[in-house]
Structure 1
Amino acid sequence: MDVSQGYRESWEGFWSATSDAPGEAIWDSDPSLTSVPDSKLLLPYADASLPVVDLGCGNGTQTRYLATCFARAIGVDLSHAAIEHARRADTAGVAEFAQLNLVDGDAVRALHERIGDTNVYMRAVIHQSEPPARPVVAAAVATLIGERGRAFVAELTPASKTVLQQAAQGPGGPPEKLRRVFEYGLKPASATEEEVPELLRAAGLTTLATGDTALAQTEYLPDGTRIDLPARWFVLAGG
């Protein structure tokens, strides 16, 4: 299958209009708030001598940190503009970046054939994917980790939608970074509470550990409170 043209254009448009400034994308938080604690949850279960693939890597902020934890780090994203951002930001050349459509099964299998079983890091990709694509995204995780890899997946829960709605209803309307998300037609937190674990199970993935968390954003409410979005994380193995 493929993503819709509108979905592809939304992401391409968003990243094309985003500067290289760290944190301009609302989810582009410092690794100390994201991939650092996430890696501490994943590494006890993972073989760090295997590569790690950052699915939906955006501008590569988390990929560059993951490169310090694993033998090799590869960031992939649907958007060509995002990959261009990531390559420009990786001035030390610590990671690799490539455009990849996660719902293109042939392309996902080709990546697995090229690098073998790999660890996967995926933060907030399923919840904003188009509903028909969500099972395919989960299946891509299973394909990539194979038998030896492990995956860390974090996804927004429906409670995040309430937080975002409240933020958007402030006296000045949505904060600037959140407004840009809406302007490009991106739809955060649209998956239901049970949808994500069910998709992971259906893809043949086994949950080794799970818990509640919050995904720190780079946007703040008028009172200075950082927007943190309720989420659930999973450490996964192949079935």
Structure 2
Amino acid sequence: MDVSQRYRNAWEGFWRETSDIPGEAMWDSAPSLTSVPHSELLLPHVDVSLPVVDLGCGNGTQTRYLSTVFARAIGVDLSHAAIEHARIADTAKVAEFEQLNLVDHDAVDALRQRIGDTNVYMRAVMHQSEPQDRPAVAAAVAGLLGVRGRAFVVELTPAAQAVLRQAAEGPEGPPEKLRRVFEHGLKPAGATDEEVPDLLRAAGLTILETGDTTLAMTENLPDGTRIDLPARWFVLAREQSAA
């Protein structure tokens, strides 16, 4: 199984045209706003001696923080260009980065066989995946956990679309970082409210905790306030019968 060429090209094009300047990607927010509070929600459920895999790591900002919490941190992304950015930014070599297509079951299974049970961090991947690929993305999370791993998954809700419309309809049109998202054909907040939890359960995952949150962006609304996109988070384990 593979993603469409359109989807692959969209992400390669986006990351190829993105510099190594922190925060240039709209979602490249500081860990203090992102993986730090997310880790605090996950920690009561998790064995930090296991590795963590950051699915859809982009330029690795959150992966590098996760390396301070877990014994080993591995960032994976569909885009080769994103992985190159991540490796360049990781000057202290605290994490590992590799290209991985989450809908390629064999590739995901090979990673699982290599590292064993692992924790998973996934921020805003399913909502922008093409609809036919979302079950495979959920299955990748389940496949990596094994028996002992736990996952933190956070995804935009449809309510984020209204915030993005507000940002795009300012007097000068979409701000630069949002305009780049649209120009590359990326489609944020594409999943319905119940689609994500339904897909997670269908993949053999048990929801241990869930709640509402926002994902902080590095771009602002026309009035100058930061764009915070409505989202929902999940702490997950694999069902014992499915492990």
Q: Please report the TM-score for the alignment, with normalisation by the length of structure 2.
A: 0.98
**For the residues of structure 2 that align with 1:46 and 1:8, how far apart are their CA atoms?**
32
Determine the structure 2 residue equivalent to 1:227: 227
Superposition pairs of residues 115-126 of structure 1, within 5 angstroms = 115-126=115-126
Determine the structure 1 residue equivalent to 2:157: 157
Deviations 1:133-157 (A, max 9, x none): 0000000000000110000000000
Q: Indicate if the aligned counterparts of 2:219 and 2:226 stay in contact, CA closer than 8 A.
A: yes
Deviations 1:149-178 (A, max 9, x none): 000000000000111011111110001000
**For the residues of structure 2 that align with 1:177 and 1:14, how far apart are their CA atoms?**
11
| Unmatched segments (≥5 aa) in structure 1 | none
Report SS of the residue matched to 1:223: coil
Superposition pairs of residues 136-215 of structure 1, within 5 angstroms = 136-215=136-215
| Worse-superposed segment, 161-170 or 28-37 | 161-170
Determine the structure 1 residue equivalent to 2:33: 33
Superposition pairs of residues 79-94 of structure 1, within 5 angstroms = 79-94=79-94
Residues 1:62 and 2:58 are matched in the alignment: no
Cα drift, residue 221 of structure 1? 1.5
Cα drift, residue 222 of structure 1? 2.4
Residues 1:8 and 2:11 are matched in the alignment: no
**For the residues of structure 1 that align with 2:162 and 2:106, how far apart are their CA atoms?**
37
Cα drift, residue 223 of structure 1? 1.6
Determine the structure 2 residue equivalent to 1:74: 74
Q: Indicate if the aligned counterparts of 2:117 and 2:148 stay in contact, CA closer than 8 A.
A: yes
**For the residues of structure 2 that align with 1:101 and 1:222, how far apart are their CA atoms?**
36
Q: Indicate if the aligned counterparts of 2:63 and 2:73 stay in contact, CA closer than 8 A.
A: yes
Report SS of the residue matched to 1:232: strand
Q: How many residues align?
A: 239
Determine the structure 2 residue equivalent to 1:110: 110
Report SS of the residue matched to 1:227: strand
Give the RMSD, CA atoms, in angstroms.
0.4
Deviations 1:31-89 (A, max 9, x none): 00000000000011000000000000000000000000000000000000000000000
Q: Percent identity?
A: 80
Q: Please report the TM-score for the alignment, with normalisation by the length of structure 1.
A: 1.00
**For the residues of structure 2 that align with 1:194 and 1:223, how far apart are their CA atoms?**
32
